[in-house]
Structure 1
């Protein structure tokens, strides 16, 4: 029985990875904070472990006595009040974790790092848009993207790592795209900018599929983009949500980019004043402003055997059904 350690196990993607590891019969260890919800980690076969990513010494102490075949590092933050926290958690936490694993001589067969397409920023923005390639030079324009890129760059060649760079991940349990569904149910939808925007998505279960393919036979040191292989327009996602909600009456407002800039400025300001992270912040401004999210997933298909099973229509249908069943909508 292979032994797998999954960080960020209580999170959106991490909880699905835990479920798949159990389904595959692995001895599954879930890293969770004491304060984290275990709502989606109810299976009695799960082994829990708490890790302090701020200290190499504490990590070594907490991991002492364990030997893992696989590690999936899905822990991280996507929203922070303070920019420095992205780097403290995503970059420094990853560096400390890797250092502790190596100093303990963990016999790892694979270390999969969940990164993001966001590390590349707004490149290839000239129309007609072209796919972002793995060989392109990253130019991250968000604190999140910068912190993830720096974490990637810290992975040592002596570690059998593989990097996955999914585009926008959605699915059951996800809370950011859920806000769009909630807004549409409330009869309003918002679009930003008038210039064409090519968007890509990947369903959470396809990210999980790629994760286990990478554990099985990914090429050490390689990085792979993940999407469903299709390109959508800026309103496609909300159109599909509207359809799955039974087409309630709605008003769609398209605002120029400068309006979003004003809204996110005040979102950041209010967040600093209240101590609550706003969904509309500077990073979100950069993400919504970006026009090209195309990416080349052929290496994942050819080298991992990755075959996306969900297009956006199918994925949105399953997601909205889950939101309804769980009483979110």
Structure 2
């Protein structure tokens, strides 16, 4: 009897995880020689591993903090601002920094939780296959029901490349899936020899779209937070004119928030207001740190439908210009 394993490969970062499911030799401490190894389950996850996600968010947080510090220093050194305006701008920027940091933490937590659920799925599914084929568990009906439940709960971006219990050619043929396990049970009982089946699954995409978000971390609260950010950006765009020394903050603060939103496409100069053409409307705030209003950020995409997502994490995998590996279906 072989030494059995399950694997999980992360496509974007190239890292892999190896799960030892079991071995027939009681003295097998780690891994048996290659001639006695067998892979009962091989899977691929379309995104990064947990360590890479944590490292990326750590770098992003450090960069944003440095940019905000530079922004605060520019406010303090501006001689055109009164002490009251300087304090007001600093407080507004601080609140925005806190909100954006909370949104990044929520996205990071969603990514990590999903990766952990994927790891648990691979480990449990592989353990059930091991118990069914080579282990001492012979409650076939319980194993069959649990395997069906796990396959129904599998994420679309977790691809099964090799599954020992799969016999049908169509990996998403749910009607025939119980028959695969029934055939395997008959093979285990000695009716006919067991032969493992190979061939990957083809990942499904929701709604046929080729550009899907890397993680499902958005809730209704985050959408409301994005709306607040957009309103704050309009206000910040107006008050940033004071930092450059043109315009009067008292004129701006006297206006209502609805007036600011309705007049956001006008240029405030020393003279009368001049309406901007569509080409003159800026895509980003001129005096904020770079990246704080990033059109590639998922929150910004909600309000910029004409912006094409250029995130390397998603486009490198889900781009329509890049062909998927030619697996045997």
Normalised TM-score (structure 2): 0.26
Normalised TM-score (structure 1): 0.26
Question: Who wins on radius of gyration, i.e. which is larger?
Answer: 2
Structure richer in helix, relative to its length: 2
